Homo-oligomer: A and B are copies of this chain.
Amino acid sequence: MTWQVNKTTLNIVKIKGDKIIRTVDEIVQEVPVTLFLNGKEFVTMVCSPEGLEELAVGFLCSEGLLQTPNDLKELTVDYENGIIYVEAAEGDSEAKFLKRNITSCCGRGRPVFYFVNDAKSMNKVTAQLLVTPGQVWDLSDRLEEMSVLFKQTGGVHNAALCAPTEVILFYEDVGRHNAVDKIFGRAFLNRIPLEDKILVFSGRVSSEIVIKVGKMGLPVIISRSAPTNLGIEMAEKLGITVVGFAKGERMNVYTYPERILG
């Protein structure tokens, strides 16, 4: 397994009109990684092989298993075998997580009560951040400029943690959720304050993405793509501004436009 490179090269056949070209092309890497929590196999994810610490921590933050910096005791990555070992404070969160997922898990989707309970137990984001339309377009342009792996391979999503005028963290991943979890994980590890930050994202703003944004406590998500109705409903409840299709001097503001319009 080749680790810590996000792409590989392969012999392929390119067809352009009536020309057939045998050539070498760059392909995005996708690897399975298994997370062990307190000695037990916990979850396997398919991801880009970079930022595995961030991914593990962000995933556990998203699932409520890490809440304060003291909850994380130890973090070890075995790159060769694709295994991440996390030692975390034992709370009731793990039991709750397992209870919630064993009945209705497997590979995608979350239980219905996930939505209801998670949204209920989350605090509404009340931060008064202001991001001007010009800043929104600048950040969206910056995300695209930084998306080198996407330009090379076309196979990843991108996420950046930003202040209104600067990019602080940036990740690319074959998985839409992973890119956001890596942001969450690095912000947790570096103890970056989030109430005055923005998530800038290439992917669709679905309910699961909005829940992650709410758990981070970010007041604004800016996407170059579309939201879903459930994503918007949840953002409405959680006090989050959702901006979609932010590119080329255009954007749609779906919730809490006062953070954009002033």
Contact = CB atoms under 8 A, between A and B. Distances in A.
A193 interface: no
Given A104-B43, A106-B105, A174-B206, A12 B253 contact: yes
A231 interface: yes
A237 interface: no
Nearest to A152: B226
Contact of A230 (B30, B101, B111, B154): B30
Kindly state the interface size class of chain A when it binds its partner: 35 or more
A82 interface: yes
A174 B154 CA distance: 19
Interface stretch (A15-23, A66-74, A138-146, A158-166): A15-23
A47 B111 CA distance: 12
A232 interface: yes
B44 A111 contact: yes
Contact of A104 (B34, B114, B225, B249): B34
Interface of A: 7-8, 10, 12-18, 20, 25, 27-32, 34, 41-47, 63, 82, 97, 101-112, 114-115, 133, 153-155, 174-175, 177, 204, 206-208, 225-232, 244-245, 249-254, 257, 260-261
30 contacts: A13-B257, A14-B252, A16-B250, A17-B249, A17-B250, A20-B261, A27-B226, A27-B232, A28-B228, A29-B228, A30-B206, A30-B228, A31-B230, A34-B111, A34-B112, A41-B104, A44-B110, A45-B108, A63-B106, A101-B105, A105-B106, A105-B107, A106-B106, A107-B108, A107-B110, A108-B108, A154-B226, A154-B244, A154-B245, A155-B227
